[in-house]
Amino acid sequence: MARALCVSSCPLCSGTRKDELEHRSAYDLCLEGIDISKEPNRAAEMMVFVRIVETGDFSGAARALSMSPSAVSKLVSRMEARLGAQLFRRSTRRLALTREGEIFHARAQAILADIGAAEREAGGSRLPAGRIRVSSSASYVLRVLAPILPDFLALYPDITLDIIQSDALADLVADRTDIAIRAGPLADSTLVARPLGHTALIVAAAPAWIERYGMPVSVEQLATHDRLGFAYPRAAEEWLKPARTESDRVRVSDGEGIRQLALAGVAPARLAHFTIRNDLTDGRLVQLLPGLLAPGLETFHAVYLGRSEALPQRVRVFLDHVSRHGTIS
């Protein structure tokens, strides 16, 4: 446990003298004999700032760092005054990063990661370490990511992963996500992307559905039937103009759920080919109107905030691994 003598004017403490204050942080937030209100400890400030983003509020960061909420608030105000920019949008209900805050957060994460890497290298350990938060669809996790994870975890035993399975677009800042695996066009110009390949989109139904309703022989006939759809807005183009307003009688929040309902014979669906390849081969699903409905094409990317050279080492090695071994063809 690090010990430091803290002077009364230290901006990282509550404002009253605390002799031999014990800090839980990996960094000494107070420098013995130095009033850091005049000589700011930028690494410590960045660490507090990053912890605020991670916990979502000043109180959570204060608890994690054994500081008072008022000390955290004063530190942020001092940082904003020195930088000449507002880092957070504050309200009674939530705390959100400004655009300047997003940029500063990405750089601060990278700088702190480099400090940690320098300390590990000086101590004889050169392997990256830390937690990576990844957002991806369940379909990609099950069929592409899961098979390549054992090798990655064996290569980097000090890296841990939080994997959030969701087909909805992740807000990387609000959700504190390092990397998101996204399908479809990229509308957010602030993100950097690495291509992971593409897949055909196939309209298919279960044999039980075909037995019940018959094999459609035209696009117009297929349009009269119910179909499975997504329960959130998607950037993908409309694949079939419906014959009535509510054609998506059943909507699901993820592609794997849609696949399961299609297999159960609920309705036809348009699904990524890599997710139903075995279902088509084994006859559990049948492609509909292959000569009349042209397959769509969906691209996959690994996206992140900030420039590649500013990424923490743990995130960089994960991106490299996924780019080499997690592509879709």
Q: Look up residue 115 and give its two tokens.
A: 């400090």
Let me know: does 14 contact 57? Beta carbons within 8 Å.
no
pLDDT value at position 247? 54
pLDDT value at position 238? 58
Query: 306 or 218: whose pLDDT is higher?
Result: 218
pLDDT value at position 20? 35
Residue 21 has pLDDT above 60, yes or no: no
Query: 139 or 6: whose pLDDT is higher?
Result: 139
pLDDT value at position 223? 87
Confidence class of residue 121 from pLDDT cuts 50, 70 and 90?
low
pLDDT value at position 29? 46
Give 195's strand partners.
301
Confidence class of residue 285 from pLDDT cuts 50, 70 and 90?
very high
Average pLDDT of 94-99? 87
Average pLDDT of 19-26? 36
Express each pLDDT in 55-93 by its tens digit: 888 888 898 888 888 999 999 999 999 999 999 988 777
CB neighbour burial string for 46-74, b if at least 16 within 10 angstroms, e if fewer: bbbbbbbbebebbebbbbbbebbeebbbb
Q: Which residue's structure tokens are 């923490």?
A: 312
Confidence class of residue 281 from pLDDT cuts 50, 70 and 90?
very high
What gap in Å lies between CA 6 and CA 34, rounded to an integer?
9
Average pLDDT of 122-150? 87
Look at 3-7, 134-138, 288-292 and tell me which has the smallest mean pLDDT. 3-7
Give 286's strand partners.
205
Residue 243 has pLDDT above 90, yes or no: no
pLDDT value at position 36? 44
Q: Look up residue 15 and give its two tokens.
A: 């404002």
Q: Give CA torsion, residues 231, 236, 241, 245, to 10 deg.
A: 30
Query: 127 or 284: whose pLDDT is higher?
Result: 284
Coil, strand or helix: which one is 157? Answer: coil
Coil, strand or helix: which one is 78? Answer: helix
Let me know: does 243 contact 224? Beta carbons within 8 Å.
yes
Average pLDDT of 105-109? 88
What gap in Å lies between CA 135 and CA 191, rounded to an integer?
14
Express each pLDDT in 256-280 by its tens digit: 999 999 999 999 999 999 999 999 9
Query: 304 or 329: whose pLDDT is higher?
Result: 304
Let me know: does 1 contact 22? Beta carbons within 8 Å.
yes
Confidence class of residue 34 from pLDDT cuts 50, 70 and 90?
very low
Average pLDDT of 16-25? 37
pLDDT value at position 111? 87
- The whole-chain average pLDDT of the chain stands at 80
pLDDT value at position 9? 38
Beta-carbon-side half-sphere exposure of residue 92 (alpha carbons within 13 Å): 0
pLDDT value at position 120? 66
pLDDT value at position 275? 95
Look at 101-105, 222-226, 227-231, 235-239 and tell me which has the smallest mean pLDDT. 235-239
Among the listed residues 185, 280, 200, the one whose alpha carbon sits nearest the alpha carbon of residue 234: 185
Q: Is the pTM of this model over 0.75?
A: no
Let me know: does 230 contact 256? Beta carbons within 8 Å.
no
Q: Which residue's structure tokens are 């691209």?
A: 299
Look at 152-161, 164-173, 218-227 and tell me which has the smallest mean pLDDT. 164-173
- Enter the DSSP assignment of 243: S
The CA-based angle 43-127-166, given to 5 degrees, is 80
Confidence class of residue 286 from pLDDT cuts 50, 70 and 90?
very high
What gap in Å lies between CA 65 and CA 51, rounded to an integer?
8
Residue 104 has pLDDT above 80, yes or no: yes
Neighbours of 251 (CB within 10 A): 14
DSSP secondary structure, 150-213, as one string: HHHHHH-TTEEEEEEE-SSPP-TTTTT-SEEEEES----TTEEEEEEEEEEEEEEE-HHHHHHH
Average pLDDT of 111-124? 73
